[in-house]
Amino acid sequence: MPTFLHMITVVGPPVPPSAEIIKKTLQYGQVEGALLPPALIDVLCQTSPGLDALRQLKFVHYAGAPLSKKTGDQLASHVRIVPCIGSTEAGGYFTKIHDHRDAWDYISFQDYAGAVFEKRLDDLYELVFTRRPGDSPQQIFKLYPDIDRFETKDLWTEHPVHKGLWKIIGRTDDYVYLSHADGLHASLLEPEIEAHPRVRSALIGGYGRPAPVLIVELFSTEKGETQEELISSLQPYIEKVNARVHDCVRLSTERVIVAAEKKPFIRTIKGSVARMQTLALYEDEIAALFS
């Protein structure tokens, strides 16, 4: 990027990054734009100095995991937000930067990328790369020279107004199969719960169970607040989820697990939640709901 775009790279000190270190790097490095993991952006936006530091930039790129809606909405009117996305197999995807700030978490692909969206269920599409003569570079076909299409298993949805803009919402293996053969796409619904100001992350599980289970991890606990009061405050957000699903897969405040401070969600090196490992961590609590 510095070579092709005539940029100067500002690298922080050789210590684990924290919100304070990132804030000072932006300030003293005279930074105009930053590429950060969403977890650090979330933390910065929780304090006025951190939020102001990001809003002073021309652009904020994020990569490795989705950026929460509440964080993005805090920044979108002040700074251009640009999602960067890729995969281990295909490298960084060749995407465009658009001007629709109300669609900050959507992207579009360069024409030569060979990106095709194939319908899978309702308004969900899987990203598939297809080999096209003359399209270059298509990294995936350097890795797999003997194939002409590569199914990424990533599920996307198209913007309802700005056609041609797409947002990744999960993977084909994020589907929660219940014991009665119905199910739901967890990653499509979890952001509704994460809109709660106290919720850091939400997971919907219950594989093979008769009903889905909601597990929430909090930013912090309120002194004197009971777990019943917290779960009651989730009710409006749960209702938003239930308005989008069939009756037989509805969430319920009776099937909510609040993550214990001693058992935080397991996260990848990118800061995103490791879904299967975290659900396994709470398997005993899930089983207890149905015992």
Report phi then psi at 267, rounded to 5. Answer: -125, 150
Domain membership flag for residue 111:
no
Residue ending a domain, among 68, 84, 100, is 84
Domain membership flag for residue 72:
yes
Domain membership flag for residue 143:
no
pLDDT of residue 237: 97
The total number of structural domains that make up the chain: 2
Label residues 139-159 b or e (16+ Cβ within 10 Å = b): bbbeeeeeeeebebebbbbbb
Domain membership flag for residue 249:
yes
pLDDT of residue 135: 59
Nearest to 105 by CA among 138, 155, 68: 68
Using one digit for the tens of pLDDT, what is the confidence trace for 168-207?
877 777 888 887 768 888 988 999 999 999 999 999 999 8
d(CA 67, CA 14): 25
Nearest to 281 by CA among 222, 171, 221, 201: 201
Give every residue of the chain whose pLDDT is below 70, as ranges.
Answer: 135-136, 181
CATH at residue 3:
3.40.50.980
CATH at residue 212:
3.30.300.30
d(CA 54, CA 77): 12
Triad 118, 122, 125: Cα angle to 5°: 25
Entry pTM: 0.67
Strand partners, 269: none
pLDDT of residue 274: 86
d(CA 20, CA 33): 17
Site of tokens 């209702």: 239
Using one digit for the tens of pLDDT, what is the confidence trace for 49-83?
999 999 999 999 998 778 888 899 999 999 999 99
Domain membership flag for residue 4:
yes
Domain membership flag for residue 201:
yes
Specify whether 285 is located in the same domain as 182: yes
Residue ending a domain, among 62, 84, 106, is 84
Cα 262 to its chain centre, rounded Å, is 24
d(CA 8, CA 181): 54
**206 is in which domain, residue-wise?**
178-289
Query: Which string of DSSP letters, residue by residue, matches 179-228?
Result: TTS-EEEHHHHHHHHHTSTTEEEEEEE-TTSSS-EEEEEES-PPTT--HH
Residue ending a domain, among 84, 118, 139, is 84
Token pair for 45: 């936006």
pLDDT of residue 136: 66
Query: Which string of DSSP letters, residue by residue, matches 74-91?
Result: HHHTTSEEEE--EETTTE
